[in-house]
Amino acid sequence: MTIATKSAVHVVGMGSMGTLLAVNLLHTTNTEVIPLFRNKDRMDQFQKESNSTIGIRRLYLEDQPLLTKTLTKSYCPETFTGTKIENLIVTTKTYQTKAALQPYLSFIDSNTNLILIQNGLGVLEVLRDDVFANSTEKPNLFQGVIGHGVFQDTGYVFNHAGFANLKIARLPWNQNDFAQRESDVERDALDNSLVKILMQPGFVRELGCEQQTYQSLLLGQLFKFLINSCINPVTAILDCDNGEIKDSCRDVFCSIVEESLSVLRVAFKPLFDYEKNYNGKADYPILDVNNVLNVEHMIEEINRIGCIVNAKNSSSMRQDTRYLRDTEIAYINGYIVSLAEKLQLGPQATKTNKIISELAQLRLSLNRTRASNK
């Protein structure tokens, strides 16, 4: 599949994942990538100090090659004078999503394709209930669940430490539209400009991109969420690379996963009931939800993917605490705590996740105190 004219893809969030996507889009597709920065200082820093150049070093390959690309355009709210945005990738931290989108909302309409590629859960609710709550021009909304391990080297050069995959799906604005048909996926593959870009053979090869139904992606999203709920806070609290805790955190991981699953089974009941309601029906994918989202399987996969495949990776939360940045803990372990409160499951339902959240915040506070005392 080829695209004759060059399409534009705007990116909000030029961190590790934004850079990984941008470099590979420029490398494998006929696409113009345009970063949208949150303010003029960040844009000027990118243009002057980095010469508008981004790079990905592939640590998982033997010779660890560095692939760099120079971007011809970049904007901030003060300088952006474009027309409507057709394709928008959002890779900001979850808690930054609303503020990052706000300056560009007038350029987003029902023809815009907006894809979220972030850690954690809860952003869909923010977009549905807040950002676009009263809008008659809601964008086509997609989610990406990414398994690749990436962390910062220096400036806008990032290390791609572990190769995995990228799964994408259209998100339903209506909570009742849970189960999508495979024919819906095929329609987007033919008609949607963003999906057509992300499913080009070269990009698929470089990032393992796969298009799915929403329910299939949600299964993968909860799977990735449980990995993040263990790897991210524990490596941040201990200040270690992923591989350093291989085989040594089973008990802690078990406590986190067992508790989280008890809450997720209530909150996402349609997914956990999917097998009995939809498996075997024509035009619906067969999902093995309860064999994937169980404690024993998850612990094995967390150790394999988090600690072995991505052994050289430094998790995003650890990087945030080391560089004294706010973390996404409220959208990971903290999300389980708030979800249990919303569902009125009682304070005993999330004791482990609450402690893990507090310890991650304590690590950040400690690092900030040490830095201020130097």
Residues carrying an active site annotation? 224
Where helices occur in the chain by DSSP H, the ranges are 16-28, 40-49, 97-101, 123-126, 182-191, 193-198, 201-207, 214-238, 250-267, 269-272, 274-278, 289-292, 295-301, 316-322, 333-342, 351-372
Asked if 331 contacts 121 with a C-beta cutoff of 8 angstroms, the reply is yes
Give Rg (Cα) of the chain. 20
**Alpha carbons within 13 A on the beta-carbon side of 277:** 10
**Which of 83, 84, 113, 92 minimizes the C-alpha distance to 35?**
92
Asked if 108 contacts 114 with a C-beta cutoff of 8 angstroms, the reply is yes
Q: What share of the chain is helix, strand, coil (3-state, %, to 5)?
A: 50, 15, 35
Instruction: Please spell the DSSP secondary structure of 183-197, one letter per residue.
Output: HHHHHHHHH-HHHHH
